[in-house]
Structure 1
Amino acid sequence: MSPKATHPPDTPLYPIREVSRLTGVNSVTLRAWERRYGLIRPQRTPKGHRLYAHDDIQRIEHILQWLNRGISVSQVGDLLDQPESVEVPTQSSSDWPSQRQQLQVLIETLDMARLEAFYHQSLALYPLGTSITELWQPVIEALEANWAVQPDLVQRRLLETFLRSQVGIRLHFANQATRGPLVLISAMPDDPGPLWVLMVALMASEQGYRVQLLDTPLPLEELTLAAERLHPAVVLLVSGQAESRDFIAHRLPQATQAIGVPLGVCGPVARLRADELKHSPVHVLGDDLPQAIARLRSLLRETGT
């Protein structure tokens, strides 16, 4: 754990908002890393405002490197000051599996109060991309595999309702605060619920896009009309299912020209139908949700949107 930061008087210092912009870590997470784990120790102004030096920013980037290697935040403190050659903890020693198990149990036992606390904690302690990659996406995949064998509509609908409300609140305030490109995000016809589309909307919003979310599928003809009226920079379709071969191989490619803006596909469908979409005008962004949203920027640059 690093000692209290002391720097020469002429050292440039940055407020938390600027550090958040530079590192991509939101201010809530930076405060949680400081208060709960002591991972960073910024200076304070007489009024208590945090000020970060360049080596604090480097330390934050080092934390992100460990998180991106699958290390949980509770383990990072012991690794930060180790040599670069230090051995990465094994998956068996990571607490991600226990966190995933805990989240899944909360959902399966319908413990909504603790689920809400767990949700907010996961988004406070980790960058959103890490939280989705290591926690929420694997749990949703596991739950959907279970529900395919033994359906449980109560579990599914309660989780959907919970995430609709939580994600909806974030989208509302984030859309007011950003001038980024508008992304129209919609579920595909065979997806039985909005779990995947909500995760994608959350990730897109975090990356600075304005998000118009359609969490129930629209017929492609209506989706075309929606694009004409809303003027999005890109339309993004999401599904946790394979979707029908006719929809993927024929109807979706035919709709891309009528929609008039780039059409992307992400979520498990992008992996399951990669071969059918390989030579189509549909842009396959992948099933890793943070990476899929990261690819949107290059897609918009390529298409001049």
Structure 2
Amino acid sequence: MTEPGASPASGALKREELFPIREVSRLTGVNPVTLRAWERRYGLIQPTRTDSGHRLYSLADVESVRSILAWIERGVSVSKVGKLLARSNAAKTPLTPVYQEVVAGEWSEWRTQVRNAVSALDESGLERVYGQVFSSYPVHVVFADVLMPVWQELLLRQDEFGRGSEWVFFDSFLRARVLQRLQLARCGQQERVILAPLPGQGRELELLVAGLLLGSSEVAVSVLGLGQPLEELTLVCGKLQPQALVLFSNHPPADDLGRQLSRLALGLDCPLALAGETADLMGEDLDGTPVACLGSEGRLMQRRLRQFLAGHLDT
């Protein structure tokens, strides 16, 4: 994506762009008063300042604002968002500043291409970009840094005229491709894990992507549908005999979820784990219980699942 002969540093500097608070408000839909409160009261974003004291926000700041907004839309209080963002950032591989700017710029360019294809409802164009992204990056980067951010943007704006059609188009496209990849990944695999949603929570694509990210060359993941009753999972696992059952949700946990999970774990013949952003919220609550927390970041979930199956992950 960088021009021939251009150094990574110069490419990063060209891509670096700073936005005033009004432009960030326009891009994200969050008013300036709220942006200032997130900075002063909670320390969620840290814009740079001009000599005259005006705030300037980077592309990374804009993405952070969108992440904060997505958490709040799911019902997480602002006071808890900082902890979740910190865990998410800590789970990512540290990069040098220049390289981080380079790859962030590349991901931004890919997201723009995805947006353009979706805006035109151009399935062949989207298929082409989709294939190019997969040929350039590992699967966790493709979804976490390119595809799902665009999906999330459209989800938050689907009530706007025209955006609803774009979101349905993109959601249907991704669900079909992820299902295909899950089916191919299961071929010939011996070790099997069942992934099930917590009832009434989440969207199908998030669940399917989690299944894709949890799987590996050693572990095949079978994904149960969104309507799967929690109380019948002991029956399902008794029939399928998986190596483990993983529950998934990206929503704030119910007050009694810890008790429900502990009770479920006692009735299973296989170990139980929790994945998704709910696992980040419940990590401390589940310490010392039979339920393991796998986290929500793709590489971390996969690594913890392998440790869990090998008996090396503390619960």
**TM-score, normalized by the shorter chain, greater than 0.5:** yes
Among candidates 202, 221, 230, match of residue 211 of structure 1: 221
TM-score (norm 1): 0.61
Aligned equivalents of 1:284 and 1:130: distance in 2? Answer: 22
> Which residue number in structure 1 is paired with residue 179 of structure 2?
168
Matched, 1:297 2:306: yes
Q: Give 5+ residue unaligned stretches, structure 1.
A: 2-66, 72-85
RMSD of aligned Cα (Å): 3.4
Residue identity matched to 1:258: G
Q: Against the structure 1 CA distance between its residues 150 and 272, is the aligned structure 2 distance closer, same or farther, given a 3 Å change threshold? A: farther
**In structure 2, how many angstroms separate the alpha carbons of the residues matched to 1:149 and 1:264?**
38
Q: How many residues align?
A: 223
What is the 5 A alignment of 1:2-21?
A: none
Structure 1: distance between partners of 2:124 and 2:145: 22
1:231 to 241, 247, 272: 241
Q: Against the structure 1 CA distance between its residues 243 and 112, is the aligned structure 2 distance closer, same or farther, given a 3 Å change threshold?
A: farther
Q: 1:99 aligns with which of 110, 117, 122?
A: 110
1:267 maps to 2:259: no
Structure 2 CA distance for aligned equivalents of residues 216 and 292 of structure 1 = 20
8 A contact 2:139–2:213 mirrored in 1: yes
Structure 2 CA distance for aligned equivalents of residues 197 and 147 of structure 1 = 20
Q: 1:244 to 1:206 in 2, by over 3 A?
A: same
SS in 2 for 1:94: helix
- Once the two structures are overlaid, the 10-residue window that deviates more, 167-176 or 255-264, is 167-176
Deviations 1:207-253 (A, max 9, x none): 4322211131411122221111111111111222224222x222122
SS in 2 for 1:245: coil
Q: Which moved more, 1:200-209 or 1:262-271?
A: 200-209
TM-score for the superposition, normalised by structure 2:
0.60
Structure 1 residues 277 and 143: alpha-carbon distance in aligned structure 2, compared to 1, 3 A threshold = farther
Aligned residues of 1:264 and 1:285 also touching (Cα < 8 A): yes
Given that 1:188 and 1:239 are in contact with CA atoms closer than 8 Å, whether structure 2 keeps it comes out as yes
- Could you say if the C-alpha distance between residues 282 and 70 of structure 1 is closer, same or farther in structure 2, counting changes exceeding 3 Å? same
Gapped regions of structure 2 (runs ≥ 5): 5-91
1:35-50 equivalent positions in 2, closer than 5 A: none
> Where does 1:245-264 land on structure 2 (aligned, <5 Å)?
245-246=255-256, 248-264=257-273
In the alignment, is the contact (CA less than 8 A) between 2:247 and 2:273 conserved in 1?
A: yes
Equivalent residue in structure 2 for 1:284, among 293, 296, 305: 293
Report the secondary structure of 1:261's partner residue: coil
- Letter of the structure 2 residue corresponding to residue 175 of structure 1: R
What amino acid sits opposite 1:201 in the alignment?
Answer: G
**Alpha-carbon distance change, 149 to 214 in structure 1, aligned in 2, over 3 angstroms:** farther
Distance verdict in 2 for CA 1:132–1:219, change over 3 Å: same
One-letter code aligned to 1:135: V
**For residues 164 and 109 of structure 1, what CA distance do their matches in structure 2 show?**
19
| Contact 1:270/1:284 (<8 A) preserved | yes
Contact 2:113 2:129 survives alignment (8 Å): no
Instruction: Measure, in 2, the Cα distance between the counterparts of 1:92 and 1:173.
Output: 29
2:220 alignment partner AA: R
1:202 to 2:212 alignment: yes
